[in-house]
Chains A and B, each alone.
Chain A
Amino acid sequence: MNCDEARGLIQCYLDNELDELNTLDLLKHLEACARCPELLDSLMSQDRLLKQSALAQEVNSGPVRAKVLTLLRAHASQPSRFPFHLTRLRRFVAVASLAAIGVLVWLFGPEFKSFHEKAYAAIVADHADHCSYEETKDARSSRTELDRLVAQYGKLSNTPDLTPFGYDEPHAFVCKIEEIQYLHLIYYRQKGQPLSVFMRLTDASSESLQVALRRRDRFVIASAWKSGAELFVVSSLADQETSDIARAIVARL
């Protein structure tokens, strides 16, 4: 692990959100590194100072507590607006409605239950959040680090080259989508919006190249998988161009 990757994990470590394996890797790096421990210490000091200062602030909760209790007791003393049997009827209707919706979803909407629906929303949010051009346009990861990460997360021998599509070298970091770690590559170009590639290894195996397109907000998502690896390409480009880029990457898996 090098410093760039360690810095990508330090926040999760600081917040007790890092899994055991990455924690061990990070601690190993921190033992050997001269700069990263200083960064971790400074962030811990910052958080500690914030928490101590926040908790040291005096809050007089007495008046609002008394007011809330008075209101609640007055509310609780009022007879229910509905007779008991009607309340039970409303509960029965609510439960029956939920059951009916559940059956309908089970019968007609299996895609709504898919993990991927949540993942699509999350990766678009992540893409939109991270891909502010002004903020990150000068950020680039080293070639060695890129190649190591794409090998780990996509079994690729080297980083996908999108220069034929007009994109520069990407910037990489590891992120969590729905509790699953992905490698997030952000590609930039001189004109136009950035493009994101999310990749990870998966148990699903398919020797044939498969690409699916969908739109969310103003973005196109091409999801593609092959040979135990899955990736999402998120862009503001046309459907066909996004699909071509996804196919170009997956073809090398």
Chain B
Amino acid sequence: MTNPERDPRLEIFEREAMAHLENLLRTAVHLVGSVGRAEDVVQETFLRAWKHFDSYESGTNCRGWLFRIMFNVVHAERARTVKLSEVPFDESDLGDGHLLGANVPFTPRGIEGRDILEAVDKLTDEHRAVLWLVAVDGFSYRESADILGVPIGTVMSRLHRARLEIRRLLQTERTG
């Protein structure tokens, strides 16, 4: 029997994959909306990653690989749960600004961190995911497209709409 403390594969996994656990957990909290569910998602992510660790090539983009697994876990979880809580997204709610800045530019003065995080949590799952990947986790459009399994054009348009929606929500917050 292998001694688990000396298993070289586990040592590599801990060094390369577990280093990203906090990053994944932080993102998962905003993806699924609660710390408890986020912990379950992250735990399942690492168990799946370990199961398929043979397919991972050491030294490549481990963080991107883990995020792709995590989004698969989240999608699978959503598919299992009945989507009664999801409100259909109405594109017309976005307002009439198509290009960034079609409306008067808005600088978020007086807006606090919690306001913008609350606004992010009000976005649709798709828009929140792409905004978080690019603006917070710093993934490129190509990496985000690979993680989400969508074309780059979709990443760009969702990102564009997410930013517009954040501005609209913050403006509403400020004026309302």
Binding site for A on B (CB under 8 A): 1-5, 7, 9-10, 13-14, 18, 21-22, 25-26, 29-30, 39, 42-43, 46-47, 50, 91-92, 94, 96, 98-102, 105-108, 111-114, 116-117, 120, 131-132, 134-136, 140-142, 150-154, 156-160, 163, 166-167, 170
CB-CB under 8 A from A39, the residues of chain B are 100-101, 105
Q: Which residue of chain A lies nearest to B111 when distances are taken between CB atoms in the complex?
A: A49
Contact A63 B39, beta carbon cutoff 8 Å: yes
Q: Which residue of chain B lies nearest to A122 when distances are taken between CB atoms in the complex?
A: B151
Q: Provide the A10-29 mask, 1 if CB < 8 A to any CB of B, else 0.
A: 11100111000000000000
Is A129's beta carbon under 8 Å from chain B? Answer: yes
Is A1's beta carbon under 8 Å from chain B? Answer: no
**Roughly how many angstroms separate A71 CA and B40 CA in the complex, as a whole number?**
13
Category for how many chain A residues contact B:
35 or more
Contact A135 B94, beta carbon cutoff 8 Å: yes
List 15 interface pairs A-B (beta carbons < 8 Å), by A numbering. Answer: A7-B99, A10-B100, A36-B101, A39-B100, A45-B108, A46-B108, A51-B135, A54-B117, A61-B22, A68-B21, A77-B1, A126-B154, A139-B99, A139-B102, A175-B156
Q: Which residue of chain B lies nearest to A41 when distances are taken between CB atoms in the complex?
A: B107
Q: Which residue of chain A lies nearest to B3 when distances are taken between CB atoms in the complex?
A: A77
Contact A50 B120, beta carbon cutoff 8 Å: yes
Contact B105 A132, beta carbon cutoff 8 Å: no
**Roughly how many angstroms separate A46 CA and B106 CA in the complex, as a whole number?**
9
| Partner of A79 from B1, B111, B135 at Cβ < 8 Å | B1
Q: Which residue of chain A lies nearest to B44 when distances are taken between CB atoms in the complex?
A: A68
**Roughly how many angstroms separate A36 CA and B99 CA in the complex, as a whole number?**
12
**Roughly how many angstroms separate A175 CA and B141 CA in the complex, as a whole number?**
13
CB-CB under 8 A from A177, the residues of chain B are 151-153
Is A238's beta carbon under 8 Å from chain B? Answer: no
| Partner of B152 from A42, A56, A179 at Cβ < 8 Å | A179
Q: Which residue of chain A lies nearest to B30 when distances are taken between CB atoms in the complex?
A: A54
